[in-house]
Structure formats: structure tokens, C-alpha cells
Amino acid sequence: MCREASIILIMFLVSNATQPIDGRKTFTSMVFRRVFTKFGHKYASSYEVYISPDQMASNMSLNIIKDLTDNVWLKLGVSQREAKNVYRSMFAYDVNLCSFSYFGKPVNLIQRWMHNILKYSNIPDSCPIKKGNYYWINLRADKDSIPSFITTGHFRIDALFYMREWNNDMVTNTSMFLDIKMK
């Protein structure tokens, strides 16, 4: 298969990853188990993520102390637990959020996730990101945001927001441990 055809096939698969195929499992629930956070004191004065009492949602607060320019990047990794403390990487993204398109109907997995986050938050959808207080409240997984190839199990999501222009300085770093149930 030529390179262009391979790229088109991969784009098709990723853009349709959340569409159930006959016989494929569909998303039932997601339970947040643990969250670990860090932040760069150069960019933020506080960053906290809380799990709701029913463990079905998470809430975040972030205080950014200086404007973030046009080089805000997200390095996102999703891993599934194979054994105690052993996770297998499923996929990873490294995306320039300032050149990312948030508008229109989401066509790929990362766009679906970003639309979901923006729906529950006051985080701006364009750069620069001005200094101030940001939050998301009751962030939950939408049914169409979990790909049909995901199986029931324990997962870790690592999200590093960083400033690429300034030697990849960390803005925030988050690791979420959660359980996903498919039916």
C-alpha cells in the first residue's frame, strides 16, 4: 500500500474510532480512581483536580499567573493496565493546542476529547490563554468520546501541558487512573 493510502486509512480509522461497528462494544461507564497533579510555578500558582464523591466525574481548578502564548502544547498518553503497576501504551498525541481546530463537528478522537473538556469548562478555545482562574466542573466521558476499540479495564491517562517555545517548560502535568466499562 502506498504511503498516501496508508495515511488516508489511518485518518479514517482514527476519525471513526468512536463509531460502534456491529459486534463491537459500546461505552457504559467511567469511574475515576486516583489523580496526581503537578504544575510549573513559572506559569501557575495552583492546580488541583478533585474526584466527585460518586467517582463518576472530576473537577479542576487552575490559576494561571501569566499569559500563555501561541506555543501551548499537549502531550497525551493513554495506557491500559496489564498487571499491577504495569501499563501498556495504547496511543499518544503531541498537539499544538494553539493551532488546533476546535470548531465544527469533531472528526477525530483528540477533537472529541477537547470538545468534551471545553463543554465543562471556562478554558478558552484559542490562544493566547490569558492569566486568570480556570476550571472544569463535573467532567464526564460522553458516550461518543470513548473509542469502540477500548475494552473494559483499568486505564491511565497522562496529560502534560507545556510551553514548547521555552524548552518544553511544564505548565501542568496530570495522571488520572480510571476504570472503563464497555458492554
Residue spans per domain, the chain: 3-19+28-182
Exposure class string for 92-126: b at 16+ Cβ within 10 A, else e: eeeeebbebeeeeebeebbbbbbbbbeebbebeee
Alpha-carbon torsion (35, 41, 42, 47), positive or negative: positive
- Strand order across the 169-182 sheet: 27-39, 169-182, 153-163, 72-83, 86-96
- Asked if 63 and 46 count as a contact pair (C-beta separation under 8 A), the reply is yes
Task: Say what the alpha-carbon torsion angle 155, 88, 97, 52 is, to the nearest 10 degrees.
Answer: 10
Query: Which pLDDT score, from 0 to 100, does residue 7 have?
Result: 36
Q: What is the pLDDT of residue 113?
A: 73
In the chain, pLDDT over 90 holds for what percent of residues? 41
**Statement: 3-19+28-182 belongs to CATH 1.10.8:** no
Report pLDDT digits (tens) over 45-73: 999 999 999 999 999 999 999 999 868 99
The pLDDT assigned to 104 comes to 55
| Region of poorest pLDDT, from 5-14, 68-77, 132-141 | 5-14
Structure pTM? 0.78
